[in-house]
Structures are given as C-alpha cells and as structure tokens.
C-alpha cells in the first residue's frame, strides 16, 4: 500500500507498507454512513455474526475512527478471526499506521523520543531495534482500559486488560514519525499479533520502488 504525504516544501514523500490480505481495512476517507454499512455487511457475511453483533461492531468502529483520524491515522485495519488457542472463540486486534509531526534535529533522532516515552512507574518497555527502513523504537505496554462498548461492540461499559505494541520509525526528513501499532484484549493470541506487526514494520519503505527499463535489464 502507498500513502503519499507532503513535506514542508510540498514535495511528495511516499510511505509504503504491506498488510495481510485478511485484514478488514477501514476506509478513513469514506462517508461515515457508507463505511458503517460496509462494515456491517462485511462482519455479517464473513464471520456469521448476528445482526445485533454486527451493528454494535460497526457503531463502535465509527467511535474509534473519529479518534484515530485526529491522531494522524493513514491506515486502520481490523484482524477478526477465530482464536488459534480456542477456535470456538472470536478474537480481534486493531492495526494502525499513524503519521505524526516531529522536530528531530538531534544526531540520533530517536533518543529524545525514547526519553519521553520512558516514565518512572509505568509498565512500559521501550527498546531500540533495526528494520529495513532504519533504526526504530519498539514500545510495548499493557493497560487497564475502560470502554463504552463490550467486546462485540454492544453499548455497555467494559473494563479489560489491553496489550499494545508500536514500532516508531522516523521519516528521512526527520520532520515526521511513522507509528505502526497493534492493540488487542485477546492476550492468548498476542504472540501471533506481534508476529504480524513485525511483518508490517519490515515492509515499510519511504522510497518509491525502482523503475525497471528494457535498457536496465539488457544492460
């Protein structure tokens, strides 16, 4: 997938990434009523949910989309499937790719970001690692979250443990950060979700693919 963004000089900066075909992509630019209808039909058709369950999921999704767009989301996808641990149970995770403005003038632009994320007393892991797109931060934490919706989107306040992980990659212009994240309350399937996140992060590129020409091939 390709998300074309503009830098401060209005030059195009590509953000390329790949996500599994099984993801249910949430069309952020689609009119809300069309997006909700498509989500409703998709959940009913693909997962065999009841009409009530599909309606509540579509409604809770719209609640979430508004928040993520404000945070700079360029991609949101849902992974909804049968649990690998217990196939009788539905499990889900949300994958997001955010682009946030940043001012990274230091020699190592991620040091300051890491310092801001490490807070005393918070159960948060912040590590450095390497991906094809460059040096990255990997952030992991588990939180107690209260949601106005139940696990299938029904409108009832629900408290649960949510685990989330993010890969933070700076753009080449050092004026933005790409944040690839996953969150889920289905902790038993967490290792599988992290493996998928790793695959997405390894697919990230900030350059256009090389153009092959006949001269180049024959040369």
Instruction: Average the pLDDT over each of 55-64, 73-82, 145-154, 203-212 and give the range with the smallest value.
Output: 145-154
Q: Which of 182, 177, 186 is nearest to 200 (CA)?
A: 182
What are the structure tokens assigned to 174, written together?
């050092």
β-bridge partners, 14: 4
Identify the pLDDT of residue 95: 95
What are the structure tokens assigned to 163, written together?
């685990």
Average pLDDT over residues 107-135: 84
Q: Please, what CATH class does the domain formed by 2-207 belong to?
A: alpha beta
Residue 136 exposed, middle or buried by CB count within 10 Å (0-12, 13-18, 19+): buried
β-bridge partners, 3: 15
pTM as predicted: 0.77
> Quick check: 73 pLDDT over 50?
yes
The structural domains of the chain, with segments of one domain joined by +, span 2-207
Backbone angles phi, psi at 23, to 5 degrees: -65, 145
Q: Which of 96, 100, 40, 33 is nearest to 64 (CA)?
A: 96
Q: How many CB atoms lie within 10 A of CB 4?
A: 11
130, 169 contact by CB (below 8 A): no
What are the structure tokens assigned to 204, written together?
């990230």
Q: Which of 94, 86, 88 is nearest to 188 (CA)?
A: 86
Percent of the chain with pLDDT over 90: 32
- Residue 2's pLDDT band, with cuts at 50, 70 and 90, is low
200, 207 contact by CB (below 8 A): no
Q: Which of 7-11, 45-49, 91-95 has the highest mean pLDDT?
A: 91-95
Question: Which residue did the predictor score with more confidence, 177 or 45?
Answer: 177
């Amino acid at each position: 997938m390709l998300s074309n963004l503009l830098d401060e000089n209005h030059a195009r900066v590509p953000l390329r990434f790949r996500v599994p075909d099984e993801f249910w992509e949430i069309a952020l630019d689609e009119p809300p009523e069309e997006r909700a209808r498509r989500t409703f039909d998709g959940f009913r058709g693909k997962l065999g949910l009841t009409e009530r369950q599909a309606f509540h999921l579509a409604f809770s999704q719209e609640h979430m989309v508004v928040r993520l767009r404000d945070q700079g989301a360029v991609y949101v996808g849902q992974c909804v499937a049968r649990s690998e641990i217990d196939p009788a149970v539905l499990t889900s995770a949300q994958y997001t790719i955010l682009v946030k403005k940043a001012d990274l003038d230091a020699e190592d632009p991620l040091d300051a970001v890491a310092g801001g994320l490490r807070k005393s007393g918070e159960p948060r892991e912040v590590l450095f690692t390497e991906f094809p797109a460059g040096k990255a931060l990997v952030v992991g934490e588990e939180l107690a979250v209260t949601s106005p919706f139940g696990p299938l989107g029904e409108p009832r306040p629900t408290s649960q443990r949510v685990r989330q992980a993010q890969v933070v990659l700076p753009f080449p212009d050092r004026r933005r950060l790409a944040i690839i994240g996953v969150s889920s309350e289905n902790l038993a399937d967490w290792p599988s979700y992290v493996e998928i996140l790793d695959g997405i992060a390894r697919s990230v590129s900030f350059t256009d693919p090389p153009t092959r020409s006949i001269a180049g091939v024959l040369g």
